[in-house]
Amino acid sequence: MESKQLNPDLALLGERILGRWADIRREVRSVMEQNDIHKIEGMPYEEHRERVFKSLQLLVDKGVTQHGFPKEVGGSGSPGASLSTFEELVFADPSLQIKYGVQWGLFGSAILYLGTDYHHEKFLPGAVDLTTPGAFAMSETGHGSDVASLGTTATYDPETQEFIIHTPDRHSWKDWLGNAAKHGQAAVVFAQLITDGENQGVHAFYVPIRKGKKFLPGIGGEDDGLKGGLNGIDNGRLHFTNVRIPRENLLNRYADVSVDGTYSSSIESKGRRFFTQLGALVQGRVSLTGAVTNAQKLALTIAIRYGNERRQFPGVDGEEVKLMDYQRHQRRLLPLLAETYAQVFLHQELLDKFHEVFNGTNDTDETRSDLETVAAAAKAIGTWNAQKTIQEAREACGGQGFLAENRLVGLRADLDVYVTFEGDNNVMLQLVAKRLLTDYSNAFKSPDFSTLASYVAEQVGQSAINRGGLRGLAQNITDFGSTARSVDYVKEEEHQHQLLVDRVHTEVARIANKMKAAGKDKVKQAELFNRHQNDLINVATAHAELIMWEAFTSALKTINHDDTRQLLTWLRDLYGFTLLEKNLDWFMINGRLTSQRAEAITDYIDDRLLPRLKPYASDLVDAFELTEPLIRSSLAFGAEQSRRDSTKESMVDA
């Protein structure tokens, strides 16, 4: 049952995990290790806010905040480096990370990507050097994820050449804005642009909101106060009463209003214009995926190291057994570790794509669309995975995990809201499902199962595919009667891929067939879309899991050290088998797996993969290269062993 002893190259693996911007990540980690900017659990939120703001200024002084901006304003013009910086800050304090994201990922980036030279010269320097702390005023109390329906208006007055920013009702207050309650001096405000009596849809405007500590005339707001997490951020609400701003404060990269009020845009379609402006800000979803993946690394490092020291209940030899020697403990943590590695590699691909789009080296409609779809899928599944992983890690550490000093409960509280900001995850997955349906309908005018096999075969691109029809593939392969032989088919890389792809495309075809009954009747289309919302979420989730598996598999091909590649292959197989096991009902109902092969999947996880991986669990978390100042939990650095050693010494002395 036990495989040969491996000697993985942890330095090589660590470098591969850090990825393309490893030097930037190490630089940020060094700043965090050498400076007192970490979260202090239990600190009153007013003090926490001031600590975070001072820490933000320290990051500016250390030169680690400007990477995403042009060289003319002190940056390095590297979008990927900027997001890498953001992602690492979760180790210091998630509030500091999000405060960074508000200032440079939202406020500053909106000016950069939605503005033109005038705005870059006038407003960007203050955003970059933090002399102008800013808010990103998009969400409203009554229009959270429905940005197109925002109530705030920006009405152009040609006589004064000004826009009038106005909040018509309480539903339309800007809500949950970082920097709004205390520190913000300006905001990028999203509002319905009205000129010549016509509403041209949502656009972005630069609006000063404070002078010092006082709101400017016509601007009001409230402090959100104490929250369930992220209390180092001064979230608040803003509202506007006929606030006038110069015409030039419209961030007009994609649309403009002339002196006489004439509206013009380089993008003719209102819908496409709207999504183009929002698409320019996709980095929030990209960076959150990296942030929560880092949080998962932290939680699993604590839990797995503790599990390799903590002993409970005597074994057959009378000695207490390590938690990690219990199969159930392995089942709790090792699949989450495999999932985290898959997420690491998917995020690296996503970050590469983001960097190439936003530095202009590969910026096309197609690449932007792909980026938005993958970012939505990765953000949704990643933030949910993080909550699941941190909670399981907390429980795996027992009562010690519930102590604030050991970080897990605070980390979970801080990351709770990640699942809903930058877009509610269910909304994100619906966007992904719509893209899958669009791609399918573009491929087939009349989608049905008779066309599915060739479509799947083309997408998978593997010669092992049964091109005569994937739906009958499982029945065409003989089960041999033993676990070892019946699982041989599934454990092959191409067959794992085939099953995961088949599930996605079969469900896309199924939903498409149901949706086509509406024809061009928009009312019927809406009814059917609502009827099948749960199916859409499920297929989008399956798609996200598939692309994570594919990213992990692609990463294996970049590992040139045999033992390291073998270890990661086992880990990839654990991720793939866990996905299959989780969805055995689908594979069996749809005839992809027989009951015998389904049972063999669980047996293979328990009898082969977990025993192979358990001896290397510590190696796999050590490869994350997290130092004690980054982890700051005694559970990961021998606290349990120290207590045991102390107990033994006391017994000897007695």
Domain 283-622, CATH class in plain words: mainly alpha
The pLDDT score that the predictor gives to residue 280 is 63
Q: How far apart are CA 250 and CA 270, in angstroms?
A: 17
CA distances for 333 relative to 188, 247, 339, 445, angstroms? 42, 56, 10, 45
CB 200 within 8 A of CB 263: yes
Expressed in percent and rounded to 5, the helix, strand and coil fractions of the chain are 60, 10, 30
pLDDT in tens, 428-445: 999 999 998 888 877 665
Q: Which of 228, 229, 226, 237 is nearest to 46 (CA)?
A: 226
Environment class of residue 479 by beta-carbon count within 10 Å: exposed (0-12), middle (13-18) or buried (19+)?
Answer: middle
pLDDT in tens, 514-566: 888 888 888 888 888 889 999 999 999 999 999 999 999 999 999 999 999 99
The pLDDT score that the predictor gives to residue 396 is 97
* Sign of the alpha-carbon dihedral angle for 50, 52, 57, 58: positive
Structure tokens at 471: 């739906």
Q: Which of 88, 100, 94 is nearest to 31 (CA)?
A: 88
Q: What DSSP string runs through 254-315?
A: SEEE-TT--EEES---HHHHHHHHHHTTTHHHHHHHHHHHHHHHHHHHHHHHHHTT-EEEE-
Helix (H, G, I), strand (E, B) or coil at 573: helix
Q: How far apart are CA 473 and CA 451, in angstroms?
A: 16
Domain boundaries, the chain: 13-281, 283-622
3-state SS of 337-385 is HHHHHHHHHHHHHHHHHHHHHHCCCCCCHHHHHHHHHHHHHHHHHHHHH
The pLDDT score that the predictor gives to residue 448 is 45
Q: Which CATH superfamily is domain 13-281 in?
A: Butyryl-CoA Dehydrogenase, subunit A, domain 2 (2.40.110.10)
CB 138 within 8 A of CB 203: no
Q: What is the largest CA-CA distance in the chain?
A: 93
Backbone region of residue 63 per phi and psi (left: phi > 0; alpha: psi in -120 to 50; beta: other values): left
Q: How far apart are CA 603 and CA 576, in angstroms?
A: 14
**Residue 447: DSSP 8-state:** -
* Sign of the alpha-carbon dihedral angle for 55, 56, 61, 63: positive
The pLDDT score that the predictor gives to residue 244 is 98
Environment class of residue 473 by beta-carbon count within 10 Å: exposed (0-12), middle (13-18) or buried (19+)?
Answer: buried
Q: Which of 643, 554, 636 is nearest to 298 (CA)?
A: 636
- What parts of the chain have a pLDDT lower than 50? 1, 446-485
The pLDDT score that the predictor gives to residue 517 is 83
* Sign of the alpha-carbon dihedral angle for 75, 77, 79, 85: negative
Structure tokens at 74: 């002190």
Q: CB neighbours (10 Å) of residue 46?
A: 13
**At 60, which helix (H) or strand (E)?**
helix 45-61
CB 323 within 8 A of CB 387: no
Helix (H, G, I), strand (E, B) or coil at 134: strand
Beta-strand pair 162-166/311-314? unpaired
The pLDDT score that the predictor gives to residue 653 is 55
The pLDDT score that the predictor gives to residue 480 is 33
Q: How far apart are CA 181 and CA 464, in angstroms?
A: 59
Residue with tokens 């604590």: 302
CB 188 within 8 A of CB 210: no
Residues sharing a CB contact under 8 Å with residue 430, sequence separation 6 or more, in sequence order: 533, 536, 537, 540
